[in-house]
Amino acid sequence: MRLGSGGPARAAVPLLVGLAAVGVGYGLSVGLPSYIVYLGTSAIVAAIAILGLGVVTGSAGMIALCQLTFAAVGAWVVSGLNLINAPGGFVGWLVAGGLAAGAVGVVVGLPALRLRGVNLAVVTLGLAAAADLALVQTQFPGSTSGTFVTRPDAFSDDRGYFFLAVLVLVVCAVLVYFLQLGRWGSGWRSVAFSERATASVGASVSVSKLTAFAVSATLGGVSGGLVAGQVGLVFAASFTPIQSLALYVLAIMSGAHLIDMAVLGGILWVVVPELLKRWGIPQDWGFVVFGVLGVQALTSGSNLGTALRELWWRRSRGTASMTLQGAAPELAAAPVAPRASGGRPVLTVSGLSVTFGEVKALRGVDLEVAEHAVVGLIGPNGAGKSTMVDAISGFLPQAEGTITLDGQSLAGHSPARRARRGLRRTFQQNRVPPSLTVEAYLRFVARRRLSPTEIADVLDFFGCPPAHTRLATVEAGTRRLVEVVGQLLSRPRVLLLDEPAAGLSHEEHVAFGERLRQVPDRFGVSVLLIEHDLDLVRSVCDTITVLDFGEVLASGPQQEVLANPAVLKAYMGETEML
C-alpha cells in the first residue's frame, strides 16, 4: 500500500477516526433504549452492504442490483456453519461468509467484463430474482429445525451485538478507506471514467472490475452474516430483489463511495420505514420514497456526498490552474538543439492502414521515431492523426501494417501490454478521472514507486498544481498537463501526445514547448507530438511528418518539411508561413 506524502500521518487519521467510532458505538450500545439499539444494528448491517455498493457502483461505476444476494450467501454460510457447529465461532463464520460471497461476486462480475449499463443491471437483477426463488425453495440451514445462530459469548445480548456490529463496520470501513486510496481504488475510479484510459496505462480493466465486484460482494456477505446473528433464524424475506434495488438507490443517492455517506445510507434505510410506521403508513411505501429520491439523484447526475464535498473543496481551495510561465532559464530563446537525428529508431511504423467502414482514415503510412527525438505529426482536422495514435497504441485491432518498438513487433499486443512495454499515449479528449487527487492519479498512471519529491519536482517543472489537489477542481487544460506528467513518470520508451497543449493560451503553449524540449534528456523518452500550434512544433520538433487525408504528404527535418510547397498549400495556407 502506497500512501504517498505524509504516509504515516495520513494513515493515522482514519485509524483514529475508527477508534473514536468504536468509542461512540460503545457509548450508544449502553446508552440507547433497547428498541433503538435493535434498529441501530439493522442500520449498521445495511451500512456495510451499502459500503460494498459504494465500491462497485460509486467508485467503479457499474450497476449491480444483487447486493442482498451476496448478503444471502453470507447469511447462508453463517447459519450453515452454525448448524454443524463448525470451529472458528461466529466471527470465523462471518469471515467465511464474506469470503464465500466475495467468490460468488467474482463469478457475477465476469459478465461485467462484457456488459455495461442497463444490460449489466438486467443480468444482476435477474440473478437476484433467481437466487430469491432458490432461497425460498431451499430455506436457510437451521430455519426448519429452528436452530438459532449462536452469537459470541461476549456479545450475546442485543446491546453487545450492536457493539459487535459497530466493530465489524469500523474494520470494514477502514479497509475500504485504504483500498480506495491504493492502486485498486484508483483502478476502480479509472475504469468508471474511461476503460480505454485504464488500459492505456497498462492496467487491467478486467482486474479492476473483478476486484470491485469481489470487495463489494465480500462486504455484502459480511452484512448478511451479521443479519444471521441478529435475527437468529434466517429467511429469504430479508434478501428480496426489491430490497436490493432499494439499497442500490440509497447507495447512489447518498454517494456511498464516501464512507460517511454509506453510514448515512444505512441510517436512512432504517429511519424511513420506521417513520412511516409511526405515521401509520404501510412500510412498503418506503420503497416508493427511496425510488423517488433515486430518480432525483439520477436525473440531477449528482449525489449528496459528492455535492457536499465539492462545495467544501471549492470554498476552501478555489479552482486550481497552472502557473506555467516563461522558460527554464538555461534554455530560454535557445534554438532547437540539433540532436543526433541518425539516432537508433525506437518506434517504427510501416504501411499502416485503417478503415472505418467507407472511410479510409490511414493509407499506408510510414513513420519513424528515433531515440530521444521529438517528432511532430501535423495535418488538418480529420487527416488521421488521432487514428494513428489509436492504431499504434493498440486500440484499433483492425489496423494493417507493422509497428515495432525497439525492433520487436507489437502485432496482437493489447493496449495494456503495449503500455507495459513502454509505449504510452495521451488522449485528445479528457480521460483524467476527476474523482482522484493529482497524486493518486500520477501513481496510478506511473505504475511504479514514486517518491513525493519526484512527484513534486515534475509537477513543478510543468507548472501543475500540487499533489494533494483534487482533479475535479483542476482546469481542463491543466488536467491534460497532469496526464502528460503521469505518463512521463512511468518512464516510457515512447510517448505519443495527442494535442497535449489544447486549451492553453499561446503564451502557455510556448512555455509548454520549452519544457517539452527538455523532456527527452530529462526523462529518457522519445516523443511523437500531435500539435496545431506551428510555433510550438517549430521550437520543439526535430523531424515532422505531415498527414493529409490519411496519407503522408511530407516527412523529414522540420526546415525541409515546413518549406515544402505541397505542405504549404495543403495544410497551413501560405500566409501563415510568412
Give the footprint of Mg ion on this chain (CB under 5 A): 385-386, 428
Verify binding: residue 385, ligand ADP, rule CB under 6 A: yes
Residue 361 interface partner, choices ligand ADP, Mg ion, none, CB cut-off 5-8 Å depending on type? ligand ADP
Contacts of 141 (CB under 8 A, 6+ apart): 76, 79, 80, 82, 83, 147
Closest separation between CB of residue 386 and ligand ADP, Å?
3
Question: What is the torsional sign of CA 119, 196, 214, 47?
Answer: negative
Closest separation between CB of residue 498 and ligand ADP, Å?
7
Closest separation between CB of residue 527 and Mg ion, Å?
17
Expressed in angstroms, the distance from the first to the final Cα of the chain is 56
Residues in contact with ligand ADP, total (CB under 6 A)? 11
Strands, E assignment, 167-325: none
Verify binding: residue 429, ligand ADP, rule CB under 6 A: no
Among the listed residues 356, 476, 521, 557, the single contact to ligand ADP using CB under 6 A: 356
- Give the CA distances from residue 187 to residues 281, 447, 492, in Å, rounded to whole numbers and listed in that order: 44, 11, 20
Verify binding: residue 511, ligand ADP, rule CB under 6 A: no
Contact (CB, 8 A) for 567 and 554: yes
Residue 143 interface partner, choices ligand ADP, Mg ion, none, CB cut-off 5-8 Å depending on type? none
**For the packed helices 285-300 and 241-254, what is the interaxial angle rounded to 10 degrees?**
40
Among the listed residues 137, 381, 453, 575, the single contact to ligand ADP using CB under 6 A: 381
Contact (CB, 8 A) for 324 and 462: yes
Closest separation between CB of residue 95 and ligand ADP, Å?
47
Closest separation between CB of residue 390 and ligand ADP, Å?
7
Question: In whole angstroms, what is the distance from residue 438 CA to residue 107 CA?
Answer: 33
Verify binding: residue 122, ligand ADP, rule CB under 6 A: no
Of 421, 457, 48, 426, residue with least CA distance to 262: 48
**Structure-block grid coordinates of residue 10:** 495520513
Question: In whole angstroms, what is the distance from residue 277 CA to residue 176 CA?
Answer: 34
Closest separation between CB of residue 428 and Mg ion, Å?
5
Of 143 and 428, nearer to Mg ion (C-beta) is 428
Verify binding: residue 500, ligand ADP, rule CB under 6 A: no
Contacts of 545 (CB under 8 A, 6+ apart): 367, 375, 376, 377, 378, 552, 554, 555, 561
Of 107, 104, 99, 106, residue with least CA distance to 218: 99
Among the listed residues 324, 383, 481, 554, the single contact to ligand ADP using CB under 6 A: 383
Residue 537 interface partner, choices Mg ion, ligand ADP, none, CB cut-off 5-8 Å depending on type? none
Residue 356 interface partner, choices Mg ion, ligand ADP, none, CB cut-off 5-8 Å depending on type? ligand ADP
Verify binding: residue 477, ligand ADP, rule CB under 6 A: no
Verify binding: residue 517, ligand ADP, rule CB under 6 A: no
Closest separation between CB of residue 389 and ligand ADP, Å?
8
Of 359 and 566, nearer to ligand ADP (C-beta) is 359
Order across the sheet with 423-425: list the strands.
423-425, 494-498, 526-530, 374-378, 543-548, 551-557
Verify binding: residue 361, ligand ADP, rule CB under 6 A: yes
At residue 76, what are phi and psi to the nearest 5 degrees?
A: -65, -45
Closest separation between CB of residue 368 and Mg ion, Å?
21
- Amino acid symbol at 268: L
Of 194 and 302, nearer to Mg ion (C-beta) is 194
Among the listed residues 69, 200, 218, 387, the single contact to ligand ADP using CB under 6 A: 387
Q: Could you list the residues that contact ligand ADP (CB under 6 A)?
A: 356, 359, 361, 379, 381-387
